[in-house]
Amino acid sequence: MNAKRTMTLNLTDAEMSALEQMAVAKDLTKTGVLRQALKLYQLIDARIASGEKVFVENALTKEKAELAIL
């Protein structure tokens, strides 16, 4: 639907390994994983920029902790 542009990405072995594992686990291409990551990063960044905080919650204990984002 949207025209796409190509770039070269240099990753360490560990980063590439993590990317490959995520791609298998999520049934996505490596590009698909990176696009997902970018969308989520931008979404969180926008909410923090508007003064909100992001928390993670333990499903069992309901304990919440703020997720620090750089």
Partner 1 sequence: MSSLIGTVKLRETATNAGVVAEVYDGVDQSHLANWQTKWKPIIEATRLRLEQQGAKSALPQSSHWEWDKKAAHFQNLLAYRMFVVVCQGDTQGLMAVATDPRHRTRVADDKGRTGLGLAYVDYLESAPWNRPEHVAQPRFRGVGSILIATAVQLSLDESFKGRVGLHSLPQSEDFYRTNIGMADLGPDNTYANFPLRYFEMTEIAARAFIQGGKNEIESQ
**Positions that interact with partner 1 (CB under 8 A):** 1-2, 26-29, 32, 35-40, 42-43, 46
Burial 24-59, CB ≥16 within 10 A → b, else e: eeeeeeeeebbeeeeeeeeeeeeeeeeeeeeeeeee
59 vs 68, beta carbon nearer partner 1: 59
Instruction: Tokens for 31, please give them.
Output: 């590009």
* Nearest distance, CB of residue 31 and partner 1, angstroms: 8
13 vs 49, beta carbon nearer partner 1: 49
* Nearest distance, CB of residue 70 and partner 1, angstroms: 19
Query: DSSP secondary-structure letter at 4?
Result: -
17 vs 42, beta carbon nearer partner 1: 42
